[in-house]
Structure 1
């Protein structure tokens, strides 16, 4: 097993039918809010990564069938402070976007050491609170993505 993280990750937007969105506050950076994110592990499919990260970061379990693959990828530069986690010379990450609709806001169990807390916000407020442009953009697309899924 490699000591380095793969430069492939998932972003999982958790929302209700009314478009309340779950955000998690990063432990390493208080005030940095985000959806569920995490790197793919060797041998995992992207949907396996999404279900694992969802469970690890929130305690929410979902099947692959419950997750919606947006077939959307984002490529971004890895923050300098986190590059040591990746093989030398790896500067960019490719993120794959998924979503999970839950019936209503619920308490979650955040990963100790990874997140400080959580909140449920209307999608526009959640988008404005995200520190990551890719997370913000995904939340701004949420109403259209949910509408497409209902058709």
Structure 2
């Protein structure tokens, strides 16, 4: 069995109006979150992990060329490393995904400013639903305190690039 690396990204996807995209976990209905995911390898840069996870979980493509919003593309310049790390205990229900003895994960937080509330293409094995909410409502809906805290920082972190 291949174990997950206990280093992940949390990507808060939001609009200039501070509406936030949340997705509902398939393995835990009622658990809403921003995009999250683990590194594929220790050598995978965190930015690449964020780009990959956003596409896999939402269908939003982060590109280094000129983006085409009609194709749900966003400029790589809209992805911001918030230079925040959260270390937390892995919920026991998910601990089997990690090597024996691994109990903590280090989460790296990013923000992704999108030009509009894109329709989302969910990974059906991972998520059931998506919703765009004003940031305060989105924060209240999150099951993860690190996700909630990141969303509540949006007004301070917002830098209009679009």
Report the TM-score range of the alignment, normalised by the length of the smaller protein. Answer: over 0.9
Match of 1:126 in 2: 138
Out of 106, 115, 124, the residue aligned to residue 94 of structure 1 is 106
Normalised to the residue count of structure 1, the TM-score between the two structures is 0.94
1:105-138 deviation line (CA, Å, top 9, x unaligned): 1211011110001000000000000000000000
Q: What is the alpha-carbon distance in structure 1 between the residues aligned to residue 48 and residue 104 of structure 2?
A: 22
Give unpaired runs (5+ residues) of structure 1: none
Moved over 2 A (4+): 63-66
1:10-43 deviation line (CA, Å, top 9, x unaligned): 0000000000000000001111100000001112
Mapped pair 1:33 → 2:32:
yes
Contact 2:78 2:114 in 1 (8 A): no
Give unpaired runs (5+ residues) of structure 2: 64-75
Mapped pair 1:69 → 2:87:
no
Match of 1:57 in 2: 57
Match of 1:84 in 2: 96
Q: What is the alpha-carbon distance in structure 2 between the residues aligned to residue 83 and residue 128 of structure 1?
A: 25
Give the superposition deviation at 1:65. 3.1
Q: What is the alpha-carbon distance in structure 1 between the residues aligned to residue 151 and residue 55 of structure 2?
A: 20
Out of 140, 145, 156, the residue aligned to residue 144 of structure 1 is 156
SS in 1 for 2:101: coil
SS in 1 for 2:153: helix
Normalised to the residue count of structure 2, the TM-score between the two structures is 0.88
Instruction: Between 47-56 and 100-109, report the one with greater CA deviation.
Output: 100-109
Instruction: Between 60-69 and 76-85, report the one with greater CA deviation.
Output: 60-69
Q: What is the alpha-carbon distance in structure 2 between the residues aligned to residue 67 and residue 108 of structure 1?
A: 18
Instruction: Between 58-67 and 97-106, report the one with greater CA deviation.
Output: 58-67
Instruction: Between 58-67 and 98-107, report the one with greater CA deviation.
Output: 58-67
